[in-house]
Chain A
Amino acid sequence: MTMFREKTMNAVTMDSDFGREKPVDRSPLEISLGHGTISQPGAAVAAVPAREEKMEKAAVPAELAGTPISERIGTLAREALPPVLGMLILLGIWYVATFKGGSIPGPGKTWDAAAVLFSDPFYRNGPNDQGIGWNVLSSLQRVGIGFGFAALVGIPLGFILGRSPFLSAMVNPIISLLRPVSPLAWLPIGLLVFQKADPAATYTIFICSIWPMIMNTAQGVQRVPQDYLNVARVLNLSEWKVVTKILFPAVLPYMLTGIRLSIGTAWLVIVAAEMLTGGVGIGFWVWDEWNNLKVEHIIIAIFVIGIVGLILEQMLILLAKKLTKESA
């Protein structure tokens, strides 16, 4: 009891240190301290987290340097808890919803199918029957090519539009008109022009991922602080130096946002485009499995598409952080 009380008092002192900015929160604790009672619910509740910390520290007295690690694990656990919980709830809902059977397979059945599927992701049995790995890779390849061309065209175009108010006023209405058009509406045009499914899908990716890059780059160029441009004017820098030393670094964060939006859209669109064009690709695979009525494979595909999209996004966020940190 005495130990407990001592710890509580410690905890209260800690807490009162902690809450110096909020005297109102502190007062009930002080009252409990003054009376020497620990039965006040407010005090007990407030003391609990601090006490736990104390005990954690006491548990590893030998290695004081080790305490930050245990704290780090603690924060990690606290941060990981909500997302893990969310996933578990999702799985739970899925499980309950499919418990009675029906056309949609439950988590267990899907897991089993996934285990089989991922045991050999890179097999080839002819053009229309390939492993899921190949399908994902060829979708990524299409996105990469289409997006690459879009970046090659869109980023310089964005720079030009940002630098020239006249051209920007000229092109903006066209962009406003075309941007809201679903990329899939372009697919027949692509098929007609290219006569082949594969370049048509790539072209669709090109069309849908070019807009965010043009618009973000142009906006970035327009928002380059006047101070920096004045520096360029006073130094009388060459246009090349202005672009490489001032415009490019200043626009980079905007450009990266454009790229991120573009990749996101491209990954959304590729699935739909491949459903229509066929061949090898995750979108086509989904459609194929629908025709085969392997619903568990469709669910696996949904997860795979989601995870790949997430990885792409995170990679670009990481890249943006790294680049802007270097240039900041």
Chain B
Amino acid sequence: MEKFVQIEKIGQTFATKKGKFVALRDISLTIKQGEFISLIGHSGCGKSTLLNLIAGLTTPTIGVLLCDGREIAGPGPERAVVFQNHSLLPWLTCFENVYLAVERVFGEKESKQKLKERTAAAINLVGLDHASSKYPNEISGGMKQRVGIARALSMEPKVLLMDEPFGALDALTRAKLQDELMKICQATQATTVMVTHDVDEAVLLSDRIVMMTNGPAATIGEILEVNLPRPRHRLTLAHDPAYIGYRAAVLEFLYEKQAHVEKLAA
């Protein structure tokens, strides 16, 4: 599966009151099965727009997106999304939030007992057995985000899409969840696309980092292959010259090559 997700020359234009706004132009990218891709760039560069396109929440103005050989025409459970603000339904418990997704995907084929087992397994995967019957407002931000991840993983998606999943969390919780996510992706071999603005996060987690130019009319600037052996450990990597080199390359792209456009925009 060399070309699992194909993005072919897409562009996205929004109609605004001031006329047409070109958000993305001329983006082509192929993602292999099991690959972990990060989208990084300054805010307003259309990272989330690109992710929403893959999710099918929006449709491109021009170009086409394919997933597993089929055109992406709308959102669907085979492309699960972890939203930035977790988006759990506050009137359902953590278990029920995950169950809603499980039931949708497997409800027609499997017994209730099996669905419940799947739900419990997904919650167990993110280490939240004890909080299963709690409501989202009774648990911490990091736990909510883990439930969001559990909900996405429980659907056994072909592609896992994450929109700054750890952006709203404190640094320690973020590091813990990054480690957990690495383990989960390793275990499930999930194809993952993650939007981030955190350079360390991108280098630590990704197989490839897609660096985007500044908007408007943003496109892919550079793609960096991260050839670090897995499993990766943040402490050992901190002194690894290769890791430091990758980190420097991303920083250089963000703050030297793309810095001047930011000045113009500001």
Q: Do A and B make up one complex?
A: yes
B92 & A230 in contact (Cβ 8 Å cutoff) = no
Interchain CB contact under 8 A, B75 and A236: yes
A24 within 8 A of B: no
Stretch in A192-200, A241-249, A293-301 touching the partner: A241-249
Flag A219-249 by CB within 8 Å of B: 1 or 0 each: 0000000011011011111000100011001
Check if A328 sits within 8 Å of B57, measured CB to CB.
no
Q: How far is the CA of A327 from the CA of B137 in the complex (A)?
A: 11
Interface range for B: 20 to 34
Decide if B57 touches A233 in the complex (CB within 8 Å). Answer: yes
- Given contacts A236-B75, A236-B104, whether A230 and B81 have CB atoms under 8 Å apart is yes
Give the CA-CA distance A233 to B91 in the complex, in Å: 18
A245 in contact with B100 (CB, 8 Å): yes
0/1 interface trace, chain B 143-178, chain A, CB 8 Å (1 if under) = 000000000000100000000000000000000000
Contact A231 B87 (CB under 8 A): yes
Which A residues touch B75, using CB under 8 A?
230, 233-234, 236
Does B101 sit at the interface, judged by CB under 8 A?
yes
Query: Chain B residue with minimal CB distance to A235?
Result: B104
Interface string of A238-263 (1 = CB under 8 A from B): 00010001100110000000000000
Q: Least Cβ distance of A192 to chain B in Å?
A: 46
Residue in B74, B85, B92, B104 whose CB lies within 8 Å of A227: B85
Give the residue of A233, A236, A249, A326 whose beta carbon is less than 8 angstroms from that of B89: A249
Residues of A within 8 A of B91 (CB): 249-250, 326-328
Q: Do most interface residues of chain A lie in helix, strand or loop, or is the interface mixed?
A: helix
The answer to whether B55 touches A234, judged by C-beta atoms less than 8 angstroms apart, is yes
Q: Is the CB of B81 within 8 A of A234?
A: yes
Q: Which of B80, B83, B87 has the most CB of A within 10 A?
A: B87
B192 to chain A, nearest CB (A): 15
Q: Cβ of B100 and Cβ of A230 under 8 Å apart?
A: no
B83–A230 touching, CB < 8 Å = yes
- Supposing A227-B83, A328-B90 touch, asked if A234 and B57 sit within 8 A by C-beta, the answer is yes
Which residues in A have their C-beta under 8 angstroms from that of B253? none
- Check B44 for interface membership: any CB of A closer than 8 A: no
* Residues in A whose Cβ lies below 8 Å from that of B55: 234
Chain A residues positioned under 8 Å from B104 (CB to CB): 235-237, 241
Interchain nearest-CB distance for B9 vs A (Å): 25
Nearest-Cβ distance from residue B255 to partner chain A, whole angstroms: 32
Tell me the smallest distance from the CB of B264 to a CB of chain A, in Å.
Answer: 31
Chain B residues within 8 Å of A230, by CB? 57, 75, 81, 83, 87
A170→B227 CA distance, assembly (Å): 59
Interface check B135, CB cutoff 8 A: yes
**How close is B110's CB to chain A, nearest CB, in angstroms?**
16
Q: How far is the CB of A240 from chain B (nearest CB, A)?
A: 12
Are B101 and A235 closer than 8 Å at their CB atoms? yes
- Select from chain A the residue with minimum beta-carbon distance to B138: A328
Q: Which residues of B come within 8 Å of A, CB atoms?
A: 55, 57, 74-77, 79-81, 83, 85, 87, 89-92, 100-101, 104, 135, 137, 155
